[in-house]
């Protein structure tokens, strides 16, 4: 569902109102193995995201015009086989106009905050959006507890929980990180390997145009890690990143390299470069690319969570997020 909700983030940035519909899986019968994070957004007559491999897109488009509804769609075994699925089945989907979601939903998604959107599985009533610490919409303590328990898994998924005799659809959205690593060699490979362990989607490239294109679509969950010392590469990418909402900007290099970059960026009109983490990474005593990659990942996590790095044994607060 992470890929599916990115269009919602674009809507949040768009000053002109655009109709959109969030599509969530309520229940399935058959189909065999599938992705629990299936989900989509309908924008301007296009289904963005993935629900059952796109087999029910036409039905979704037809139902989206009718507003909030639970729709049933059937997929034959032959259709499923053609899409590489184990078997066919029946799906019940909940379609919700984005305008009916709690007001804070797109704001929190835009901040890359893990959240759960909760509603009755039959589509009745409204939605409540719940984060680990806040909620937008009135609901019971039992629903809050169930949503936060689901968020604690760290997974994007649709699940059903029976609470006080009512089946509730809990859709957790934990934004994943996309990262561009501008550089090459063992250091770039080590960072990509470490990122992939954490579920990041990593690209290694020194193509400035491709990097800028990525930055223009990036959000607070995403990262730019600049290893290149070539001013024709690092300065344009850092310039673009400073003008974007990308969540993490890191620059490798000596303090002299950082100063040279800073001077170029100031000449380009940036009043501050405080968002650039350079020299990159936490001071963990790293001595090789693999250890340095851990230090960079740790700094990214600290930056994203707003935590000041320190030992858990020295703290008294929650230890998970």
Domains of the chain: which residue ranges?
Answer: 2-173, 178-305
**Edge-to-edge strand list for the sheet holding 223-226:** 201-204, 178-182, 223-226, 248-251, 276-277
Per-residue pLDDT of the chain (321 residues; tens, 9 = 90+): 565 566 666 555 554 446 788 899 898 887 765 555 678 888 888 888 888 888 888 999 999 888 898 999 888 888 888 877 778 889 899 999 988 999 898 888 877 788 999 999 999 989 999 998 899 999 999 999 999 999 887 778 889 999 999 999 999 988 888 999 999 999 999 999 999 998 899 999 999 999 999 998 888 889 999 999 999 999 999 999 999 989 999 999 999 999 999 999 999 999 889 999 999 999 999 999 999 999 999 999 888 877 788 887 887 766 655
The answer to whether the CB of 64 falls within 8 A of the CB of 7 is no
Angle at CA of residue 111, ends 107 and 115, nearest 5°: 75
With H, G, I as helix, E, B as strand and everything else as coil, classify residue 176. coil
The answer to whether the CB of 254 falls within 8 A of the CB of 280 is no
Please compute Rg for the chain using Cα positions. Answer: 22
Using CA atoms, how far apart are residues 291 and 309, in angstroms rounded to an integer? 17
**Edge-to-edge strand list for the sheet holding 69-75:** 46-50, 39-43, 20-30, 89-97, 69-75
Give exposure, 111-125, as e/b (b: 16+ Cβ within 10 Å): bbbbbbbbbbbebee
Angle at CA of residue 28, ends 24 and 29, nearest 5°: 165
* Residues near 45 by beta carbon (within 8 Å), at least 6 away in sequence: 61
Give exposure, 230-263, as e/b (b: 16+ Cβ within 10 Å): eeebbbbbbbbbbebebbbbbbbbeeebbebbbe
DSSP secondary structure letter of residue 129: E
Using CA atoms, how far apart are residues 174 and 5, in angstroms rounded to an integer? 10
The residue count for the chain: 321
Evaluated on CA atoms 226, 230, 233, 236, the torsion sign reads: positive
pLDDT at res. 35: 59
Assign a CATH topology to domain 178-305. Answer: Rossmann fold (3.40.50)
- Cβ-based burial of 8 (10 A; exposed 0-12, middle 13-18, buried ≥19): buried
pLDDT at res. 56: 87
* Residues near 216 by beta carbon (within 8 Å), at least 6 away in sequence: 240, 244
* Residues near 22 by beta carbon (within 8 Å), at least 6 away in sequence: 4, 5, 8, 39, 40, 41, 95, 96, 97, 98, 101, 117
Using CA atoms, how far apart are residues 179 and 181, in angstroms rounded to an integer? 6
pTM above 0.85, yes or no: no
Q: Chain centroid to CA 64: how far?
A: 24
């Amino acid at each position: 569902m992470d890929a599916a909700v990115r269009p919602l983030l674009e809507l949040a940035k768009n000053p002109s109102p655009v109709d959109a519909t969030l599509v969530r899986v309520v229940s399935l019968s058959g189909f065999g193995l599938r992705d629990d994070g299936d989900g989509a957004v309908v924008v301007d007559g296009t289904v963005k995201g993935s629900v059952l491999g796109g087999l029910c897109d036409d039905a979704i488009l037809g139902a989206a015009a009718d507003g909030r509804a639970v729709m049933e769609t059937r997929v034959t075994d032959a259709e499923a086989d053609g899409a590489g699925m184990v078997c066919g089945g029946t799906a019940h989907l909940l379609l919700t106009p984005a305008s009916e979601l709690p007001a804070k939903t797109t704001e929190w998604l835009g901040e890359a905050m893990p959240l759960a959107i909760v509603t009755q599985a039959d589509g009745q009533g409204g939605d409540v959006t719940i984060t680990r610490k806040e909620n937008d919409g009135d609901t019971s303590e039992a629903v809050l507890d169930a949503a936060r328990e689901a968020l604690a898994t760290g997974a994007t998924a649709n699940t059903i929980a029976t609470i006080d005799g009512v089946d509730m659809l809990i859709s957790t959205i934990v934004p994943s990180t996309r990262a561009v690593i501008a550089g090459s060699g063992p250091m770039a490979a080590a960072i990509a390997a470490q990122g992939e362990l954490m579920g990041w989607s990593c690209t290694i490239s020194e193509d400035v145009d491709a990097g800028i294109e990525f930055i223009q679509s990036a959000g607070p969950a995403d990262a730019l890690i600049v290893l290149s010392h070539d001013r024709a590469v690092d300065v344009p990418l850092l310039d673009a990143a400073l003008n974007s909402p990308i969540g993490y900007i890191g620059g490798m290099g000596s303090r002299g390299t950082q100063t040279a970059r800073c001077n170029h960026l100031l000449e380009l009109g940036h009043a501050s470069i405080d968002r650039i983490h350079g020299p990159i990474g936490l001071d963990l005593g790293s001595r090789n690319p693999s250890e340095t990659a851990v230090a960079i990942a740790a700094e990214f996590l600290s930056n994203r969570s707003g935590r000041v790095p320190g030992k858990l044994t020295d703290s008294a607060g929650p230890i998970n997020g």
